[in-house]
């Protein structure tokens, strides 16, 4: 009968552990008791002698029988080809949206959300603070230094300049944020409308909270943050919903690079596949 | 027939029957105590590291509970000081270093196609001295007050600045426990480093030239060189500190002609390379996992090797950026700021190469890959705040603030810890023969991402708002309350993530899906043997012809060696 295949490996030993313990005790004795150092020294010497005999004149080995593992011997064969993405092909790893919402839908959605936000803010001012001009003046304080240092009494009074500035700021911001939402919405994961409606206002409210001290000290002092966030949520949900329902337009991402560079009047992949 | 190899052929061989009888008489525990097998030692390193990680993690949670609200008295100031000292020391020396040693021990012989490390007994010695060193550190809780009636665990911070460590300010033996245990674990780390270098240079299988080494091996190799260069200054400083405390040598005592600043130089000559000692193996893990889960070879292999070597050299010359506030000369400030900025170049090269590897690949978002992705984002943030702190006037403003705490936790938790988890998910099937649960792994990942960023992201703001580190409580009304509360809430998510991970480890050990030898369809040699590998690793030592030997084996029609230079 043929002898079973085997391999020689270094033999197990506890001497390295004994030397390590000895060295540890030797040092630990410095802060505990000299007897511990003495024990460590003796252990270390004994361990060193044992270790020496393990490796001199020849290192000790043990023989390990070889177990043949057929599964491990058999290589796994897999497909050689790596699937590369090409521009315009749909899929979860496509970086740029193929279709986007038009900018006009962002502006219209922003205006719609802005109207709701204004109603909510004024309603809060009227019901809680007793004056509809309270949120108007707080917003206008961004651009009007006299309102930044005004007391609550003044902030509750009507100011024609304050109203004009607040309307301008609110209009500009509503349209601007609506346009950003329109641009960002196609890049959100699934349930983009919910993401945009709930997550975005929380993020920009946090950003505003962190910077409002410098932008608008009056608002920092007097604004009700819970209601502020609720107004932002109202804005984003309305604007996001309006933008979501708009007709999307195709971007240049689906076009061949030659057409994007203006070299050739080639058709997009979608146009080709439609034919 | 006996398939002896170079490890064994010259040795004195006892009779097979006698050795087998001796082996059979050993209990399973004794087998582990006596083992010199690199795989078992690797597992023991990682398990011991995980135990210290859990203990130090609990300390971190207690620290965060204490800081959740102003004027909290959950922990007293002395206990708090001990907590952050033991937390920092344990995480660096008893979790980070041994976990890296464990991964290196387990994987390097398998990856270079040999049967064991070059010095298997030295390897065992390294593990045991690390473990005893760690135990000595924690014994300080019992030993320091128990025998002399003063002191407890160390309470001087993980970098133990002089003169706080002098006898006048630290009575009893608290600092001595710290110095001795670091000295012991340093000996273990040096033993491991020497072993890694010898193994990589002397025991590579046939055909494995240096430029065919897996990047994991390359990066651990440069880490080992860094350890050999950086650890002796630390050990020297520990011995000088002990001489100061026991014999009044006065190295760090300004009143006897010494210098407290010298301690800082000694510590950081070790301490900053230590950051790279910890993160380079993280890079190593990422460099193995990203190609496999992108189904593409690593992008720019030679440049990755060159960048690792550049990091090694540059990291030896940046230490004093930890010391801008001590009042160095302008030339000193400019030199260390420049060298610190310089290190961003090879690090940036690595990040671009990982992205280049993923670009156009067929990505698989399994847990190992998810943790690597988390690492990429968080380590980038860490790198950017590191560049900010390299600007001297900025550092003057934020030194010793929570901004610095946030920065280094983004390096060590967002960077290193995430790669350790990536490594565990990737190689657990090789070690145990069973897969870790993928769904639980994804929960683990997302909870940790949320928890980590909640805890440490907001600490940047705390630092900018002026909150100093190492304070045990604070006054209300400074704008710190909200951020501290958020930071503490993040710990709950992190704790849940770690509990899930531990459950996954234990559950998969018994019930995990069988992995087979190569569950990820990977390309390096460790996947060429069974899972778990036999004690001799390979029945026949392999021969390789390219950087991806398993690719060549699986695709003889299109081998890599045909394309590689």
> What is the tens place of the pLDDT at every residue in B194-234?
999 999 999 999 999 999 999 999 999 999 999 999 999 99
Query: How does the average pLDDT of chain A come out, rounded?
Result: 82
Q: Are B184 and A27 an interchain contact pair (Cβ–Cβ within 8 Å)?
A: yes
The mean per-residue pLDDT over the stretch B318-341 comes to 93
Integer Rg of chain A from CA? 37
* A258 in any annotated domain: no
Instruction: Judge whether B530 is closer than 8 Å to chain A, CB to CB.
Output: yes
Task: Encode pLDDT of A148-165 as tens digits.
Answer: 888 888 999 999 999 999
CA distance B477 to B486: 16
Minimal-distance CA residue of chain A relative to B22: A62
Inter-chain CB proximity A16 and B121 less than 8 Å: yes
Report the candidate in A76, A103, A119 with the shortest Cα–Cα distance to residue A227. Answer: A119
Give the residue from A3, A5, A9, A33 with the most B CB atoms within 10 Å of its CB, the best one to mutate. A9
- Are the C-beta atoms of B537 and B527 separated by less than 8 Å? no
What is d(CA A152, CA A149) in angstroms, rounded to the nearest whole number? 10
Whether the pLDDT of residue B439 is over 80: the answer is: yes
Residues A139 and A18 grouped into a single domain: no
The pLDDT tens digits of the residues spanning B331-370 come to: 999 999 999 999 999 999 999 999 999 988 888 999 999 9
Give the pLDDT score at B255. 86
* Residue A161 is assigned to a structural domain of this protein: yes
A16 contacts in chain B (CB < 8 Å) = 36, 121-122, 124-125, 128
For residues A54 and A168, membership in a common domain is answered with: no
Pick A66's closest partner by Cβ from B3, B7, B360: B3
Residue A108 lies in a domain: yes
The answer to whether B514 faces chain A, any CB pair under 8 Å, is no
Distance from CA of A204 to the nearest CA of B (A): 16
Residue B43: CA atoms inside 13 Å, Cβ hemisphere, count?
Answer: 14
ipTM: 0.89
Torsion-angle region of B269 (φ positive above 0: left; ψ -120 to 50: alpha; else: beta): alpha
Say if residue A1's pLDDT is above 70: no
B36, B180, B296: residue with CB nearest A27 = B180
Domains of chain B from N-terminus onward? 38-562 (1.20.210.10)
If asked whether residues A50 and A140 sit together in one domain, one would say: no
Q: Which residues of A touch B3 (CB under 8 A)?
A: 5-7, 66
Predicted confidence (pLDDT) at residue B2 exceeds the cutoff of 70: no
Q: What is the CATH number of the domain that holds A40?
A: 1.10.287
Q: Which of A111-120, A189-198, B91-100, B293-302 has the lowest mean pLDDT?
A: A189-198
Residues sharing a CB contact under 8 Å with residue B349, sequence separation 6 or more, in sequence order = B300, B303, B304, B307
Q: Residue B103 above 70 pLDDT? A: yes
Residues 15-44 of B with CB under 8 A from A: 16, 19-20, 23, 26, 31, 33-37
Strand, coil or helix: A11 = coil
Asked if residue A235 and residue A147 are part of one domain, the reply reads yes
Q: How far apart (Å, rounded) are the C-alpha atoms in residues A52 and A46?
A: 10
Which of B387, B397, B392 has the alpha carbon at shortest distance from B467? Answer: B397
Q: Position of tokens 């190569």?
A: B518
Choose from A14, A16, A95, A225 for mutation: most chain B CBs within 10 A. Answer: A16
A24 and A118 part of one domain: no
Report how many domains make up chain A.
2
Mutate to test the interface with A, among B25, B132, B356 (most CBs of A within 10 A): B132
Residue A49 has pLDDT above 70, yes or no: yes
A32 is a domain residue = yes
- CB of B461 within 8 Å of any CB in chain A? yes
Are the beta carbons of B125 and A77 separated by less than 8 Å?
Answer: no
pLDDT at residue B254 in the model: 87
Condensed to tens digits (0 to 9), the pLDDT of residues B238-273 reads 999 999 999 999 899 888 889 999 999 999 999 999
User: Under 8 Å CB-to-CB from B278, ≥6 apart: which residues?
Assistant: B92, B96, B97, B100, B411, B412, B416
| pLDDT attached to residue B143 | 74
Measured between beta carbons, the chain A residues lying within 8 angstroms of B26 are 12
B358 and A CB contact within 8 Å: no
Q: What pLDDT score was predicted for residue B324?
A: 93
* Average pLDDT over every residue of B55-69: 96
Kindly state the average pLDDT of the residues B38-49. Answer: 96
Q: Give domain status of residue A65, yes or no.
A: no
Q: Are residues A107 and A51 in the same domain?
A: no
- B21-48 b/e with 16+ CB inside 10 Å = b? eeeeeeeeeeeebbbbbbbbbbbbbbeb
Q: Give the integer Cα–Cα distance in Å for A224 and A205.
A: 12
B393: Cβ contacts below 8 Å, ≥ 6 apart:
none
For residue B236, the SS3 value is helix
Same domain, A56 and A108: no
Q: Is the Cβ of B129 closer than 8 Å to some Cβ of chain A?
A: yes
Q: Write down how long chain B is.
A: 565
A88 domain-assigned: no
* Residue B554 at interface with chain A, using a CB cutoff of 8 Å: yes
Q: Are residues A117 and A45 in the same domain?
A: no
pLDDT for A214: 80
- CA triplet A91, A92, A98: central angle to 5 degrees? 60
Check residue A269 and give its pLDDT. 52
Taking the CA of residue B471 as centre, how many other CA atoms within 13 Å lie in the half-sphere pointing to its CB?
19
Residues in chain A within 8 Å Cβ distance of B520: none
A55 lies in the same domain as A106: no
C-alpha to C-alpha distance for B267 and B238, rounded to whole angstroms: 9
pLDDT of residue B153: 87
First CA to last CA distance, chain A: 75
Question: Is the pLDDT score of A252 beyond 90?
Answer: no
Count Cβ–Cβ pairs < 8 Å, chain A vs chain B.
179
Could you tell me if B5 lies within 8 Å of chain A, comparing CB atoms?
yes
Contact list, B558 vs chain A (CB under 8 Å):
80
Does position B43 have pLDDT exceeding 80, yes or no? yes
Concatenating the DSSP letter of every residue in B267-336 gives HHHHHHHHHHHHHHHHHHHHHHHHHHHHTSPPTTHHHHHHHHHHHHHHHTT-GGGGGGGGT--HHHHHHH
CB pair distance less than 8 Å for B34 and A13 = yes
Which residue of A6, A51, A93 is in closest CB contact with B2? A6
Residue A64, helix vs strand vs coil: strand
A63: helix, strand or coil:
strand
β partners of residue B33: none
Residues of A in contact with B122 (CB under 8 A): 16
For the four alpha carbons of B133, B135, B139 and B141, in that order, the dihedral sign comes to: positive
**Residues of chain B contacting A72 with CB distance shorter than 8 Å:** 517, 528-530
DSSP labels, A211-235: HHHHH-HHHHHH--HHHHHHHHHHH
Task: List pLDDT tens digits, range A62-107.
Answer: 888 887 765 555 555 555 555 554 444 444 334 456 778 888 999 9
Q: Do A21 and B132 touch (CB under 8 A)?
A: yes
**Poorest-confidence range of A257-266, B118-127, B429-438?**
A257-266
What is the residue range of A42's domain? 6-60
Report residue B386's pLDDT band, with 50, 70 and 90 as the boundaries. very high
Question: Is the preceding peptide bond at B163 cis, omega within 30 degrees of 0?
Answer: yes
Map residue B435 onto helix, strand or coil.
coil
Tell me if A44 is assigned to some domain.
yes
Do residues A111 and A171 share a domain?
A: yes
Task: Let me know the angle formed at the C-alpha of B343 by B338 and B348, rounded to the nearest 5 degrees.
Answer: 130
Mean residue pLDDT of chain B comes to 91
Cα of B150 to nearest chain A Cα, Å: 12
> Is the separation of the CB atoms in B406 and B472 below 8 Å?
no
Q: Please choose, from the candidates B563, B214, B231, B275, the residue with its C-alpha nearest in 3D space to the C-alpha of residue B407.
A: B275
Burial bucket for residue B554 (CB in 10 Å: 0-12, 13-18, 19+): buried
Are residues A228 and A108 part of one domain?
yes
The alpha carbon dihedral of A160, A163, A166, A172 has a sign of negative
- The DSSP letter of residue A65 is E
* Neighboring chain B residues of A57 at a CB cutoff of 8 Å: 12
Q: What is the pLDDT of residues B395-405, one digit of tens each?
A: 999 999 999 99
Q: Which helix (H) or strand (E) holds A6?
A: strand A6-10
Q: Is A9–B8 a contact, with Cβ atoms under 8 angstroms apart?
A: yes
pLDDT class of B142 with cuts at 50, 70, 90: confident
Taking the C-alpha atoms of residue A174 and residue A252, their distance in angstroms, rounded to an integer, is: 27
Q: Which residues pair with A61 in a beta bridge?
A: A10, B13
Q: Count of residues for chain A?
A: 275
Nearest by CB to residue B530, choosing from A27, A63, A71, is A71
Give tens-digit pLDDT for A128-138. 989 999 999 99
What is the 3-state secondary structure of B373-419? Answer: HHHHHHHHHHHHHHHHHHCHHHHHHHCCEHHHHHHHHHHHHHHHHHH
Quote the Cα angle for B255-B148-A26, to 5°. Answer: 85
Give the strand order in the sheet containing A6-10: A6-10, A60-65, B12-13
Residue A137 lies in a domain: yes
Whether A54 and A104 share a structural domain: no
pLDDT at B57: 96
Within 8 A of A75 by CB-CB distance, chain B residues are 528, 550, 553-554
Contact B115 A9 (CB under 8 A): yes
B315/chain A closest Cα distance in angstroms: 31
pLDDT interval class at A200 (50, 70, 90): confident
């Amino acid at each position: 009968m043929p002898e079973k295949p085997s391999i020689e490996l270094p033999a197990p030993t506890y001497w390295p552990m004994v030397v390590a313990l000895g060295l540890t005790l030797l040092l630990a004795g410095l802060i505990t008791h000299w007897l511990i150092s003495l024990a460590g020294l003796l252990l270390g010497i004994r361990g060193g002698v044992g270790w020496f005999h393990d490796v001199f004149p020849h290192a000790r080995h043990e023989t390990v029988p070889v177990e043949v593992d057929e599964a491990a011997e058999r290589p796994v064969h897999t497909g050689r080809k790596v699937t590369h993405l090409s521009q315009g092909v749909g899929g979860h790893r496509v970086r740029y949206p193929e279709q986007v919402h038009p900018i006009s839908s962002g502006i219209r959605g922003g205006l719609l959300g802005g109207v709701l936000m204004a109603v909510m803010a004024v309603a809060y001012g009227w019901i809680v603070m007793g004056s509809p001009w309270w949120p108007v003046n707080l917003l206008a304080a961004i651009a009007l230094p006299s309102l930044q240092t005004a007391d609550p009494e003044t902030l509750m009074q009507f100011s024609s300049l304050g109203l004009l500035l607040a309307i301008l700021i609110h209009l500009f911001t509503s349209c601007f944020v609506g346009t950003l939402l329109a641009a960002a919405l196609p890049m959100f994961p699934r349930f983009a409308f919910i993401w945009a409606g709930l997550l975005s206002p929380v993020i920009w409210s946090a950003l505003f909270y962190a910077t409002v001290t410098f932008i608008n000290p009056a608002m920092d002092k007097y604004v009700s943050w819970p209601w502020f966030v609720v107004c932002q949520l109202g804005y984003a949900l309305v604007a996001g919903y309006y933008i979501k329902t708009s007709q999307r337009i195709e971007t240049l991402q689906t076009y061949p690079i030659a057409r994007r560079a203006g070299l050739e009047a080639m058709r997009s992949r979608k146009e080709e596949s439609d034919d | 027939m006996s398939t002896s190899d170079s490890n064994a052929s010259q040795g004195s061989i006892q009779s097979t029957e006698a050795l087998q009888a001796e082996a059979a008489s050993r209990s399973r525990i004794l087998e582990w105590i006596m083992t010199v097998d690199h795989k078992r030692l690797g597992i023991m390193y990682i398990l011991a590291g995980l135990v210290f990680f859990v203990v130090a993690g609990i300390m971190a949670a207690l620290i965060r509970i204490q800081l959740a609200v102003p004027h909290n008295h959950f922990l007293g100031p002395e206990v708090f000081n001990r907590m952050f000292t033991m937390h920092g020391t344990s995480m660096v020396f008893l979790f980070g270093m041994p976990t890296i040693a464990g991964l290196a021990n387990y994987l390097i012989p398998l990856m270079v196609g040999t049967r064991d490390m070059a010095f298997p007994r030295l390897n065992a010695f390294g593990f045991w001295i690390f473990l005893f060193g760690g135990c000595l550190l924690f014994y300080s809780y019992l030993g320091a007050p128990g025998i002399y009636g003063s002191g407890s665990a160390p309470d001087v911070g993980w970098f133990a600045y002089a003169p706080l460590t002098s006898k006048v300010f630290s009575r009893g033996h608290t600092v001595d426990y710290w110095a001795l245990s670091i000295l012991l674990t340093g000996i273990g780390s040096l033993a491991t480093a020497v072993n890694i270098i010898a193994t990589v240079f002397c025991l590579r299988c046939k055909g494995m030239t240096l430029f065919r080494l897996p990047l994991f091996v390359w990066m651990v190799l440069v880490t080992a060189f860094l350890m050999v260069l950086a650890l002796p200054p630390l050990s020297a400083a520990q011995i000088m500190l002990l001489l100061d405390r026991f014999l009044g040598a006065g190295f760090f005592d300004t009143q006897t002609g010494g210098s407290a600043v010298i301690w800082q130089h000694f510590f950081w000559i070790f301490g900053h390379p230590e950051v790279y000692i910890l993160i380079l193996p993280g890079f190593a893990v990422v460099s193995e996992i990203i190609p496999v889960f992108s189904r593409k070879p690593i992008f720019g292999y030679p440049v990755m090797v060159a960048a690792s070597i550049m990091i090694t050299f540059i990291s030896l010359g940046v230490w004093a950026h930890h010391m801008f506030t001590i009042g160095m000369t302008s030339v000193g400030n400019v030199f260390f700021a420049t060298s610190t900025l310089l290190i961003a170049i090879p690090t940036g090269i690595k990040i671009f190469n990982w992205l280049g590897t993923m670009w156009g690949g067929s990505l698989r978002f399994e847990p190992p890959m998810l943790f690597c992705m988390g690492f990429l984002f968080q380590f980038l943030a860490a790198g950017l705040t590191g560049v900010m702190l390299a600007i001297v006037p900025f550092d003057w403003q934020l030194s010793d603030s929570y901004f610095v705490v946030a920065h280094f936790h983004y390096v060590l938790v967002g960077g290193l810890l995430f790669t350790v988890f990536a490594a565990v998910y990737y190689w657990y099937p090789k070690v145990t023969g069973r897969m870790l649960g993928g769904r639980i792994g994804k929960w683990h990942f997302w909870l940790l991402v949320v928890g980590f960023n909640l805890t440490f992201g907001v600490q940047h703001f705390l630092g900018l708002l002026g909150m100093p580190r190492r304070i045990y409580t604070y006054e209300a009304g400074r704008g710190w309350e909200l951020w501290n509360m958020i930071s503490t809430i993040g710990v709950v998510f992190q704790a849940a993530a770690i509990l899930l991970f531990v459950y996954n480890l234990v559950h998969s050990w018994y019930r995990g899906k069988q992995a087979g030898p190569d569950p990820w369809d990977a390309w390096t040699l460790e996947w060429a043997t069974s899972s778990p590998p036999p004690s001799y690793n390979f029945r026949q030592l392999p021969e390789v012809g390219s950087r991806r030997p398993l690719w060549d084996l699986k695709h003889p029609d299109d081998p890599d060696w045909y394309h590689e230079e």
